[in-house]
Amino acid sequence: MNILITGGAGFIGSHLAELHLNNGDSVFAVDDLSTGRRSNIEELLDSGDFRFEAADLLDWDGLEEAVAEADRIYHLAAVVGMFRVLDEPVEVMRVNVGGTEVLLEEVVRSGDTPEILIASSSSVYGKTHGVVLDEEVELVFTPEAGGLTTYALSKLANELQAIAYHREHGLGISIARLFNTVGPRQAGTYGYVLPRFVSQAVKGEPLTVFGDGTQTRSFCDVRDTAKALELLAGNGNAIGKPINVGNTREIPIIDLARLVIERSGSSSDIEFIPYGEAYGESFRTIGQRRPVITRLVEATGFQPKWSLEQTIDDLLERQSAGVSSKGEWV
Ligand SMILES: NC(=O)c1ccc[n+]([C@@H]2O[C@H](COP(=O)([O-])OP(=O)(O)OC[C@H]3O[C@@H](n4cnc5c(N)ncnc54)[C@H](O)[C@@H]3O)[C@@H](O)[C@H]2O)c1
């Protein structure tokens, strides 16, 4: 099978590429390396079945050929990460909404019918909380959510683009609403919490918890996420509707910090940083994020294999083994 991955040098994209190469497929990854890194795919480049092109999806002269070759397309390229999202709202709209349109228009123009998966995000739930987050729940957005709303609505736009192109042009598009994903190759630079905690614990620095730490999140290992995406793409039960992808275990961020300290045996303390200091005064956090994955399980039989403890231990082991020298933990 020929697989095209936009954002293929990114965190999730590189794991997906690895999974498909292990399946014996050919993988073509395109990425502008804005948050993705060549080091993420360095080992894959040795495989004769892996091709990579550094390009902006919106301005890529290889798109027509890549789409024509593809049996399956994973569209992951996006402006992501809390810091980038807050700092670059125009780029968020250009890449996230514009890039998706460019890609889907090219598929229509090609006349082909590849299997397509589009990565959405749990951020589409906006300020909805205190209720179970299944795909039927009403979405709540208010302007004080600040810059995060731009990202959330760009991802909601992606879902609507997928549904529109499915209905009007018959494209077989699955929509994965991804909740927090963690694991090797996730960079701490853009505001992701677990790589920051692991790096701080290993260095013996205080673990910086934003806010009071009572906000909860659910973390899914990236290798489970990649498997779920593989199961959703081209799956007749998953076309044209959003499907939550994540792990249902919920943990307050303060407990995540304690867990990292415990697993690492670090003498680090915990330091609380007000949200205003971390992200600017207008920032408001989301209190809770836990997916209901019934739709995913019914469509695919998916069950996560990695516990949070296993993921943390794996990250600590890699960090201690000096993976940081390759830039993984910048
Ligand atoms: N990691 C998570 O917890 C999470 C949660 C929800 C949704 N998602 C979604 O999953 C997808 C992958 O995210 P990730 O966590 O792997 O982040 P990532 O930053 O590692 O991956 C995104 C990739 O897209 C690339 N990219 C950005 N703009 C591009 C452009 N114009 N042209 C080509 N490539 C471009 C980046 O360089 C990067 O490699 C994104 O669509 C994101 O919205 C991720």
Note the pLDDT tens digit of each residue in 89-104.
999 999 999 999 999 9
pLDDT digits (tens, 9 = 90+) for 36-82: 999 999 999 999 999 999 999 999 999 999 999 999 999 999 999 87
Ligand 1: list residues with CB < 6 Å. 6-7, 9-13, 30-36, 56-58, 76-80, 95, 99, 119, 121, 178, 180-181
Establish if 186 belongs to a structural domain.
no
- Measured by CA distance, the residue closest to atom 1 of ligand 1 is 181
Find the CATH number of the domain harbouring 68.
Answer: 3.40.50.720
Q: What is the pLDDT of residues 279-292, one digit of tens each?
A: 666 666 677 889 99
Give domain status of residue 231, yes or no.
Answer: yes
Atom of ligand 1 nearest to the CA of 120: 7
d(CA 16, CA 176): 14
Question: Is 80 exceeded by the pLDDT of residue 188?
Answer: no
Residue 142 lies in a domain: yes
Prediction pTM value: 0.94
The verdict on residue 214 lying in a domain is no
For 232, the domain range is 2-181+221-246+290-304
Q: Is 138 exposed, middle or buried (0-12, 13-18, 19+ CB in 10 A)?
A: exposed
Q: Is residue 279 part of a domain?
A: no
**Domain-located, residue 310:** no
Number of structural domains the chain divides into: 1
Which stretches of 23-147 are DSSP H helices? 38-41, 63-69, 82-87, 89-92, 99-110
Distance 36 CA to ligand 1 centre (A): 8
User: Do the Cβ atoms of 145 and 126 come closer than 8 Å?
Assistant: yes
End-to-end CA distance of the chain: 34
Distance 84 CA to ligand 1 centre (A): 11
In a domain, 281, yes or no: no
Let me know if residue 155 belongs to a domain.
yes
**Per residue in 190-244, pLDDT tens?**
668 999 999 999 999 999 999 999 999 999 999 999 999 999 999 999 999 999 9
**Ligand 1: distance of its center to the CA of 135 in Å?**
22
Any idea which residue has 């994020």 for tokens? Answer: 289
The 3-state secondary structure of 247-273 reads CCCCEEHHHHHHHHHHHHCCCCCEEEE
Catalytic residues: 151
